Amino acid sequence: MSNQNNKKRNIDPEKVTAERLNGYAALFGCIALVGAYSSTGQIIPGFV
């Protein structure tokens, strides 16, 4: 039973890098959204 709990899952380093890059892109998008809203008062500048 404890042997099954001690097995580590092998995760490809490429997947870890891709997920980290995706997280950075999402964070950058959120910061850009807050910046656009604070400077223009619109969620998407140019629309309504």
Q: What is the pLDDT of residue 7?
A: 74
- For residue 15, the model assigns a pLDDT of 95
Please tell me the predicted confidence (pLDDT) of residue 2: 54
Name residue, tokens 């580590």.
8
Q: What integer pLDDT is reported at residue 45 of this predicted model? A: 79
pLDDT in tens, the chain (48 residues): 555 556 788 989 999 999 999 999 999 999 999 998 999 888 887 876
2/43 Cα distance (integer angstroms): 52
